[in-house]
């Protein structure tokens, strides 16, 4: 895949990347918009609006195609919209059928290379919506015997985007994507909690020394600590799930500012039930659609729960580092599984690399939460144009935590051991 060219490198848009350039001899087509004409590689499924979005709005390297669950959700929204538009008589059934067929690759994770827009680019996710509309229009037209870039008979805006706006499409798809991705995190958290409960049972008969303020306190058993960790992760999992469930309120049908302007009532009545059927999610319309598009506090609530989960994991990971410290000059109560050499200098050291990885993941999640906070704080008037920024950071946090927790449970918690003689000596000293 071609890289994004620097300004002034060449003259045409590249097949793999709008914003890079077509090499001499590569076939191109000419597309036109209100700003003028532009060459687009003939093999590209995106069009001129996507090319301009990549050129003008890119900075983060977070490309739409790198977020397959979001692409899936956008495809589901577009399929539901096409079916609702056909039922409402907004677009002809033949065109709607071609659009529905065009969404199939998106639902199955294909065509990701044709979604190059930067997810953090400005404009309230306009680049994302343009990219999806153009790809679906071109695929639909090929189903009907047309050519890429002609947008006949299916037009990206008039047909693929009928009865919709960027605001309600992206608002809805982002929430579906988070709901879907959060299921993996919930599974990882359940495994962590279950393994912590198992470790608590295994350590129930091991006496040790409790400490408060990092000072000796009283004799106890190690299950007291591990059981507390399990209860903490269970509680945070339940709280996170409640926040995620609130995202099932989706704004599709509200169009630009939640009034439904430009979308007939027949479409609005059908689109959410159809979308629920396609995604398998129990989606509902918010009680107040303008509120849903003006305010992203539902996303903020999920992010806040992720941040509290991160803080809880910091506590657990830090404790494991302390309790495994040593082995001669530290606490030395726990023995972490050795998964790799921890030092290039001290070859025999068993550094706590997995807990430290979890710590660094948690720090990143807290950074994502700060971005979400800023995106919500800067909402203004009739639409929070930073809703996409907030949601993408939540998706990033969810995925980082999912991966880190899977590694933590598999490579640390499962084989976590106790230095029983050390623990018994500490408990005996506390009783003396």
Residues marked active site are found at 343
Specify the residue for token string 């939540």: 394
Under a CB-based contact definition with an 8 Å cutoff, are residues 135 and 53 in contact?
no
Of residues 263, 80, 92, 93, the one with CA closest to residue 176: 80
41, β-bridge pairs: 28
d(C-alpha 382, C-alpha 366), whole Å: 28
Both tokens assigned to 370: 């700060």
Omega of the bond leading into 327 within 30 degrees of 0 (cis): yes
Both tokens assigned to 319: 């404790």
Instruction: Say if strands 36-41 and 28-33 run parallel, antiparallel, or are unpaired.
Output: antiparallel
Task: Tell me the H-state helices in 280-386.
Answer: 289-294, 297-323, 353-377
d(C-alpha 216, C-alpha 327), whole Å: 19
Task: Tell me the H-state helices in 108-253.
Answer: 126-143, 166-202, 222-245
What are the two backbone dihedrals, phi and then psi, of residue 208, each rounded to the nearest 5 degrees?
A: -155, -170
Of residues 5, 35, 45, the one with CA closest to residue 22: 5
d(C-alpha 381, C-alpha 330), whole Å: 56
Residues 227/230/234/239 CA torsion (nearest 10 deg): 90
Specify the residue for token string 């990549």: 54
Say how many Å lie between the first and final Cα of the chain, rounded: 70
- Identify the sign of the CA torsion 218, 221, 225, 230: negative
Under a CB-based contact definition with an 8 Å cutoff, are residues 81 and 162 in contact?
yes
> How many degrees, rounded to 5, is the angle at CA 417 between CA 411 and CA 423?
150
For residue 1, with 0-12 CB atoms within 10 Å meaning exposed, 13-18 middle and 19 or more buried, which class applies?
A: exposed
Helix axes 387-408, 297-323, angle to 10 degrees: 30
């Amino acid at each position: 895949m071609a890289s994004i060219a620097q300004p002034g490198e060449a003259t045409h848009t590249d097949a793999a990347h709008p914003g890079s350039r077509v090499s001499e001899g590569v076939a191109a087509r000419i597309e036109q918009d209100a700003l003028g004409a532009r060459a687009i590689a003939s093999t590209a499924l995106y069009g001129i609006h996507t090319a301009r979005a990549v050129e003008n709005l890119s900075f983060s390297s977070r490309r739409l195609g790198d977020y397959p669950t979001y692409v899936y959700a956008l495809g589901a929204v577009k399929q539901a919209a096409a079916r609702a538009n056909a039922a409402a008589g907004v677009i002809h059934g033949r065109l709607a059928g071609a659009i529905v067929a065009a969404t199939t690759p998106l639902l199955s994770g294909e065509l990701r290379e044709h979604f190059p827009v930067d997810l953090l680019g400005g404009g309230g996710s306009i680049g994302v919506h343009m990219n999806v509309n153009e790809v679906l229009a071109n695929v639909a037209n090929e189903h009907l015997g047309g050519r890429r870039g002609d947008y006949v008979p299916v037009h990206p805006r008039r047909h693929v985007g009928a009865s919709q706006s960027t605001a309600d499409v992206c608002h809805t798809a982002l929430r579906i994507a988070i709901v879907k991705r959060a299921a993996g995190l919930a599974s990882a958290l359940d495994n962590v909690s279950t393994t912590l409960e198992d470790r608590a049972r295994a350590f129930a008969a091991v006496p040790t020394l409790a400490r408060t303020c990092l000072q000796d306190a009283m004799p106890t058993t190690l299950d007291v600590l591990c059981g507390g960790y399990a209860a903490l992760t269970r509680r945070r999992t339940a709280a996170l799930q409640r926040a995620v469930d609130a995202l099932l309120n989706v704004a599709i049908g509200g169009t630009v500012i939640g009034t439904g302007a430009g979308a007939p009532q027949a479409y609005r009545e059908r689109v959410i039930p159809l979308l629920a059927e396609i995604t398998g999610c129990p989606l509902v319309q918010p009680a107040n659609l303008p509120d849903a598009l003006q305010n992203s506090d539902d996303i903020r609530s999920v992010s806040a729960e992720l941040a509290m989960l991160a803080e809880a994991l910091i506590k657990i990971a830090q404790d494991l580092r302390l309790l495994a410290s040593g082995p001669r000059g530290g606490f030395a109560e726990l023995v972490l599984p050795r998964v790799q050499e921890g030092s290039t200098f001290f070859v025999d050291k068993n550094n706590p690399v997995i807990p430290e990885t979890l710590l660094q993941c948690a720090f990143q999640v807290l950074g994502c939460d700060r971005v979400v906070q800023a995106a919500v704080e800067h909402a203004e008037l009739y639409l929070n144009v930073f809703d996409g920024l907030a949601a993408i950071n939540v998706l990033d946090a969810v995925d980082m935590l999912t991966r880190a927790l899977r590694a933590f449970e598999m490579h640390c918690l499962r084989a976590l051991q106790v230095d029983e003689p050390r623990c018994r000596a500490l408990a005996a000293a506390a009783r003396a």
